[in-house]
Structure 1
Amino acid sequence: MKVESVTKEETKKPERKIKLAIAKPEDYSNKNVILEKEEELICPVCGSKNIIKDYERAEIVCEMCGCVLQQNLFDVGPEWRAFDHEQRVKRSRVGAPMTYTIHDKGLSTVIDWRNKDSYGKDISADKRAQLYRLRKWQRRIRVSDASERNLAFALSELDRIASKLGLPRNVRENAAVLYRGAVEKGLIRGRSIEGVAAAALYAACRRCKVPRTLDEIAEVSRVDRKEIGRTYRFISRELNIRLAPTNPVDYVPRFASELKLPGEVESKAISILQKAGEKGLTSGRGPTGVAAAAIYIASVLQGTRRTQREVADVAGVTEVTLRNRYKELTEHLDIDVTL
Structure 2
Amino acid sequence: MTPCPTDTSTTTQFTTKSNVSTENEREREEATTSTEKQRVCPECGGSLTHDTAHGETVCGECGLVVDEAEIDHGPDWRAFNSEERDQKARVGAPTTKLMHDKGLSTKIGWQNRDTHGKSLSSRQRQKMQRLRTWDERFRTRNSKERNLKQALGEIERMGSALGVPKTTRETASVIYRRALKEDLLPGRSIEGVATAAIYAAVRQAALPRSIDEVATVSRVDKMEFKRAYRYLGQQLGLEIQPPDPEDYIAKYASTLDVSDELEARAHELLQTAKSANVHSGKSPIGLAGAALYAAGVLTNEKMTQSEISEVTDVSEVTIRNRYQELLETADQKSKGVTPN
TM-score with structure 1 setting the length: 0.69
Q: Is the 8 A contact 1:296 1:306 kept in 2?
A: yes
Amino acid at match of 2:205: C
- More relative contact order, 1 or 2 (CA 8 Å, 6+ apart): 1
Is residue 134 from structure 1 mapped to residue 131 from structure 2 by the alignment?
yes
Q: Tell whether the 8 Å contact from 1:175 to 1:204 is kept in structure 2 after alignment.
A: yes
Greater shift, 318-327 or 127-136, is seen at 127-136
What is the CA–CA distance in structure 2 between the aligned matches of 1:281 and 1:118, rounded to whole Å? 68
Please tell me whether residue 266 in structure 1 is matched to residue 266 in structure 2.
no
The residue that corresponds to 2:329 in the other structure is 332
Tell me if the contact between 2:272 and 2:329 (Cα under 8 Å) persists in the aligned partners.
no
**TM-score w.r.t. length of structure 2:** 0.69
What's the counterpart of residue 170 of structure 2?
173
Checking the alignment, whether the CA contact within 8 Å between 1:265 and 1:299 is kept in structure 2 is yes
Distance 1:294 1:91, change over 3 A: farther
Q: CA deviation at 1:293?
A: 0.9
Residues 155 and 176 in structure 1, CA contact (< 8 A), matched pair in contact too: yes
Corresponding residue of 2:186 = 189
Aligned to 2:92: 95
Pairwise CA RMSD? 2.7
> CA separation in 2, counterparts of 1:154 and 1:313?
33
Equivalent position SS for 1:333: helix
2:149 aligned counterpart, secondary structure? helix
Letter in 1 for 2:162: L
Pick closer, same or farther for the CA change 1:87–1:203 going to 2, 3 Å.
farther
Displacement of 1:125: 3.7
> Which residue number in structure 2 is paired with residue 113 of structure 1?
110
Per-residue CA shift, 1:2-30, capped at 9, x if unaligned? xxxxxxxxxxxxxxxxxxxxxxxxxxxxx
Instruction: Evaluate the alpha carbon distance shift between residue 258 and residue 157 of structure 1 in structure 2; reply closer, same or farther with a 3 A threshold.
Output: same
Partner AA of 1:122 in structure 2: S
Instruction: Please state how far the C-alpha of 1:137 moved relative to its aligned partner.
Output: 1.3
Q: Is the 8 A contact 1:108 1:142 kept in 2?
A: yes
CA distance in 2, matches of 1:205, 1:180: 16
* Equivalent in the alignment of 2:210: 213
Kept in 2: contact 1:80–1:91 (CA 8 A): no
Amino acid at match of 2:185: I
User: Which residue is 2:253 aligned to?
Assistant: 256
Cα offset for 1:75? 11
Distance 2:162 2:196 in 1: 14
Unaligned runs of 5+ in 1: 1-73
Aligned to 1:152: 149
Q: Could you say if the C-alpha distance between residues 146 and 195 of structure 1 is closer, same or farther in structure 2, counting changes exceeding 3 Å?
A: same
Between Structure 1 and Structure 2, the one with more helix by share is 2
TM superposition shift of 1:112: 1.4
* 1:240 pairs with 2:231: no
Whole-Å Cα distance in 2 between the matches of residues 283 and 87 of structure 1?
55
Larger radius of gyration: 2
- Offset of 1:334 from its aligned partner? 2.0
Q: Distance in 1 between matches of 2:232 and 2:323?
A: 35
Q: Which runs of 5+ in 2 are unaligned?
A: 1-72, 333-340
Give the stretch that moved more between structures: 275-284 or 197-206. 275-284
3-state SS of 1:191 partner:
coil
Equivalent residue, structure 1, for 2:295: 298
Figure out how many residues of one structure are paired with residues of the other and give that number: 258
Quote the offset at 1:316 in angstroms: 2.1
